Structures are given as structure tokens and as C-alpha cells.
Amino acid sequence: MREVMTKSMARNIFYGGSLFFIIIFVGLSAHSHLYITSTSTNAATLTESVAAGKRVWEDKACINCHTILGEGAYFAPEVGNVMTRWGVLDDPELAFETLKGWMESQPSGIEGRRQMPQFHLTDEEIRDLSNFLIWTDKIDAQDWPPNDAG
């Protein structure tokens, strides 16, 4: 006897198969969404100050020289992990003081070193930037970028 696939069998395979993969697709989408919102972005700690710091970052075009999480320009160091490298990640006050000290001593004028401009930021702007850089540092970027240069 010859095995034949009837039209209705073909239709069932088509609909059943489509449904199967649609369910997998929706499941994976939900999983990605949950992963991003709960684990990786740290959204609960997104304060007004962090948002204001991002605006300072954009207004002053820090990204024209720096990268954050590997995005940006390669003239100056990655700053997505600068708070870790400075050892001040868990001390917002010390982070602010350290960043303030850094911002105020630029340009360094050291011969042969790349120079960062003086931005004349207010304490509030520096505090916001500092909080923004702490927040950025706490994003779970799965160790990206692989950079521990100082």
C-alpha cells in the first residue's frame, strides 16, 4: 500500500508546526524582556540624578572622546567601568570627590599625554555625572568591554 499524505494531514503539520514555533518565539521574547529588565539594566536605581548625569554626558559630548560599554570614540579611556577602576563604585560620596578632583585638574598639561578639556562643571553636574557613571558601571554587561586599562 502506498503511503500518501492527505491535504488535511499537511494542513495539520503546517498549523501545528507554526503554532509550536510561535510559542517558542513568544517564550524567548518574554524571557529576554525579563532578563533585560530584572537582571541587566538595574532599572530600579535609575534616579533623577542618574538621568540628569546622562544629559550632562550628552550636552558636553563626552562620547566624542570616550566609550561607555564600548560605544563611542576611542581617543580616551572607556569610562563605563571607571568607578570600579578607581575603587569608588560603592561609595557615591568618594566617587563624587574623585570625579570632581579629576574634572578640575584637566587639562593635565602633562607633555606627551592626551589632554582632556576643562568643562567648568558645577558641583551638581559633577555629582549627576558621577551617579550616572556609577549606574552605568553597575549594568550587568557580562564583562563587556574586556578592558581593565587605567
Say whether residue 92 binds ligand HEC (CB under 6 A): no
Which residues neighbour 95 within 8 Å (Cβ) at sequence distance 6 or greater? 83, 86, 88, 89, 130, 133, 134
Q: What is the closest distance, in whole angstroms, from the C-beta atom of residue 86 to ligand HEC in the complex?
A: 7
Say whether residue 69 binds ligand HEC (CB under 6 A): no
CA distance 128 to 62: 14
Q: What is the closest distance, in whole angstroms, from the C-beta atom of residue 49 to ligand HEC in the complex?
A: 14
Which residues neighbour 75 within 8 Å (Cβ) at sequence distance 6 or greater? 64, 65, 66, 114
Of residues 29, 32, 38, 64, which one binds ligand HEC by CB under 6 A?
64
Task: Output 25 or 144, the one with its CB closest to ligand HEC.
Answer: 144
* Contacts of ligand HEC in 123-142 (CB under 6 A): 129
